[in-house]
């Protein structure tokens, strides 16, 4: 392999607990992390290295499972096992708690902002997906509750430029939703994984989805216009199997380079690249680089920096964050 | 959980407990690399209390040494446990107790898989899936009443 994934820095981010999630702000200057210690931490670059710029505590009573930045970068949302989602507002170099979104019956597993910044989605072990509308006064109102899944919903992700939402579940399926006559509806159910779907991510154009699962595979799904009359249709065009030794917990598709990163329960971080000139109906993805012992325990999350090509953050059950640089072949 | 008075399996078959592990000469030699073996793992879980009977999992044959597979080099532990009856509602709790015991006792490098002996429980697949979902296990262990029940199973009882 001519590509490499090299370690830039390791941060002891959430000592004595899990680090569940890491997310870059849209400017790529700050990294937010969260974990089993009930806190959210903000990391920024100082000189050549990354350091902790702030600790957001007292927002949650239990584990903080995931964090998400608003498209403008001024707000941060945190989803917690305490059944709430906190919205934090950036004030100069600090964050203050703006509001707490309540309503889910139990653990909130994920939160995501729509590209417009006017909508927010949350999902929970209570099997539902909620969509919230944000007005100019920073007021949040739940506009719909969707019950398309039959089990625990693990992840939600918005399309990069449309108001199209996708969710992944313990029921092995992926659902895609859009607004229809003032109501949100499930317009496609993607079946193919044989166990829990842990995460999913659109590509830069939004025409494809990558999903990862407890079945140790990653699948690439493509919009299928031939099938679509009214309903959207997606088909699986590629399955990456044989690369991951255990559950694949997260997948992130780099909007700048098209590289696909995965976080795995076998402690490894892997980067896949699509082969040049491969058939769009049957794309071929190759393992470009991997670090098999990237962390001391399971890797929970991977996130590409939106501005600096190849800069990747990962985090693990051992409480650490890893910062990596993916070097492409010249 | 059952009501407390009604036992699901009122007359379980009771099995004999294993004797203490015999120490070998190299066990106490600090200079010899001593990988964790099946017997050591079995010793950690055989004394776990059954949630319903005043008996250990070993005495109910829920755990057996032959169903413990450890690979120290690969840092993996695989445990099969056998519920006493195919409709045992305690199966998830028993599996969770085994998992928690090993999570607390083993070095963090170990990947711990706990599942039902194939063909011995009506909801085998569902229980296995739940035990393998570390996010749900983490959430369950933040539930103080459930954690208390698990800790009772893991407490030392005089036999």
pLDDT tens, residue by residue, A101-117: 999 999 999 999 999 99
First to last CA, chain A: 12
Question: Does B129 contact A107 at a Cβ distance shorter than 8 Å?
Answer: no
Q: Is B74 exposed, middle or buried (0-12, 13-18, 19+ CB in 10 A)?
A: exposed
Confidence of residue B4 (pLDDT cuts 50, 70, 90): very low
Best residue in A246, A250, A266, A294 for a mutation probing chain B (most B CBs within 10 Å): A246
Q: How far apart are CA A250 and CA A95, in angstroms?
A: 27
User: Chain A closest CA to B28's CA: distance in Å?
Assistant: 28
User: Bridge-partner residues for A119, per DSSP?
Assistant: A133
Q: Which residues are CB-contacts of A198 (< 8 A; sequence separation ≥ 6)?
A: A154, A155, A168, A212, A213, A214, A247, A248, A249, A250
Q: How far apart are CA A86 and CA B95, in angstroms?
A: 34
Say how many CB pairs under 8 Å bridge A and B. 37
Listed residue (A153, A145, A45, A56) closest to A95, CA to CA: A56
Residues of chain B with C-beta less than 8 angstroms from the C-beta of A318: 108
User: Bridge-partner residues for A323, per DSSP?
Assistant: A9, A313
User: Bridge-partner residues for A320, per DSSP?
Assistant: A12
Question: Does B135 contact A109 at a Cβ distance shorter than 8 Å?
Answer: yes
Q: How far apart are CA A320 and CA A11, in angstroms?
A: 5
Q: How far apart are CA B30 and CA B35, in angstroms?
A: 12
Q: How far apart are CA A178 and CA A184, in angstroms?
A: 5
Residues of chain B with C-beta less than 8 angstroms from the C-beta of A36: 138
Question: Does A170 contact B142 at a Cβ distance shorter than 8 Å?
Answer: no
Question: Does A265 contact B111 at a Cβ distance shorter than 8 Å?
Answer: yes
| pLDDT tens sequence for chain A (330 residues) | 589 999 999 999 998 999 999 999 999 999 999 999 999 999 999 998 999 999 999 999 999 999 999 999 999 999 999 999 999 999 988 999 999 999 999 999 999 999 999 999 999 999 999 999 999 889 999 999 999 999 999 999 999 999 999 999 999 999 999 998 889 999 999 999 999 999 999 999 999 999 999 999 999 999 887 655 556 689 999 999 999 999 999 999 999 999 999 999 999 999 999 999 999 999 999 999 999 999 999 999 999 999 999 999 999 999 999 999 999 876
pLDDT of residue B83: 96
pLDDT above 70 covers what percent of chain A? Answer: 97
The answer to whether residue A244 neighbours chain B at the CB level (below 8 Å) is: no
CB A110 within 8 Å of CB A154? yes
Residues 50-69 of A with CB under 8 A from B: 62-63, 65
pLDDT of residue B1: 41
Q: Which of A81, A196, A298 sits opposite B139 (nearest CB)?
A: A81
Question: Does A246 contact B129 at a Cβ distance shorter than 8 Å?
Answer: no
CB A327 within 8 Å of CB A4? yes
Instruction: Kindly report which listed range (A198-202, B4-8, B83-87) carries the lowest average pLDDT score.
Output: B4-8
- Write down the pTM of the prediction: 0.94
pLDDT of residue A226: 67
Listed residue (B104, B136, B109) closest to A214, CA to CA: B136
Confidence of residue B19 (pLDDT cuts 50, 70, 90): confident
């Amino acid at each position: 392999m001519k590509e490499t994934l090299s370690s830039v820095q390791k941060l002891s981010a959430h000592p004595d607990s899990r680090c569940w999630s890491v997310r870059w702000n849209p400017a790529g200057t700050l990294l937010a992390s969260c974990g089993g210690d009930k806190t959210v931490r903000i990391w920024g670059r100082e000189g050549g290295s990354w350091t902790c710029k702030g600790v957001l505590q007292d927002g949650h009573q239990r584990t903080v499972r995931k964090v998400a930045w608003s498209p403008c970068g001024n707000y941060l949302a945190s989803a917690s096992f305490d059944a709430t989602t906190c919205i934090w507002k950036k004030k100069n170099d600090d964050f203050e708690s703006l509001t707490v979104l309540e309503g889910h019956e139990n653990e909130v597993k994920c939160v995501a902002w729509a590209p417009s910044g006017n909508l927010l989605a949350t999902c929970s072990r209570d099997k539902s997906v909620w969509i919230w509308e944000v007005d100019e006064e920073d007021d949040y109102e739940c506009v719909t509750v969707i019950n398309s899944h039959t089990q625990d919903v693990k992840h939600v992700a918005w399309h990069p430029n449309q108001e199209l939402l996708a969710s992944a579940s313990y029921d092995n399926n992926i659902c895609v939703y859009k607004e229809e006559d003032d109501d949100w509806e499930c317009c496609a159910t993607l079946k193919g994984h044989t166990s829990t779907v842990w995460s999913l991510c659109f590509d830069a154009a939004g025409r494809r989805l990558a999903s990862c699962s407890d079945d140790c595979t990653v699948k690439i799904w493509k919009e299928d216009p031939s099938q679509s009359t009214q309903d959207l249709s997606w088909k699986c065009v590629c399955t990456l199997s044989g690369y991951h030794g255990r559950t694949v917990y997260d997948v992130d598709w780099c909007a700048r380079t098209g590289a696909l990163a995965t976080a795995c329960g076998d402690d490894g971080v892997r980067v896949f690249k699509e082969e040049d000139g491969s058939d769009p109906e049957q794309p071929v993805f190759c393992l470009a680089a991997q670090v098999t012992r990237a962390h001391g325990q399971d890797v929970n999350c991977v996130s590409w920096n939106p501005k600096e090509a190849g800069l990747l953050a990962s985090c693990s059950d051992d409480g650490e964050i890893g910062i990596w640089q993916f070097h492409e072949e010249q | 959980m059952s009501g407390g008075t009604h036992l699901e399996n009122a007359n379980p078959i009771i099995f004999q407990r294993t004797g203490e592990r015999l120490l070998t000469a190299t066990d106490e030699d600090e200079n010899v690399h001593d990988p964790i073996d099946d017997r050591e793992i079995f010793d950690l879980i055989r004394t776990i209390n059954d949630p319903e009977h005043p008996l250990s999992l070993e005495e109910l044959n829920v755990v057996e040494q032959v169903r413990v597979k450890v690979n120290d080099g690969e840092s993996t532990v695989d445990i099969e446990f056998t519920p006493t009856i195919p409709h045992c509602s305690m199966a998830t709790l028993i599996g969770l107790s085994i998992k928690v015991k090993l999570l607390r006792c083993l070095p963090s490098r170990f990947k711990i898989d706990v599942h039902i002996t194939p063909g011995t429980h009506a909801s085998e697949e569902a229980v296995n899936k739940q035990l393998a979902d570390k996010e749900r296990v983490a959430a369950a262990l933040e539930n103080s009443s459930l954690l208390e029940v698990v800790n009772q199973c893991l407490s030392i009882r005089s036999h």
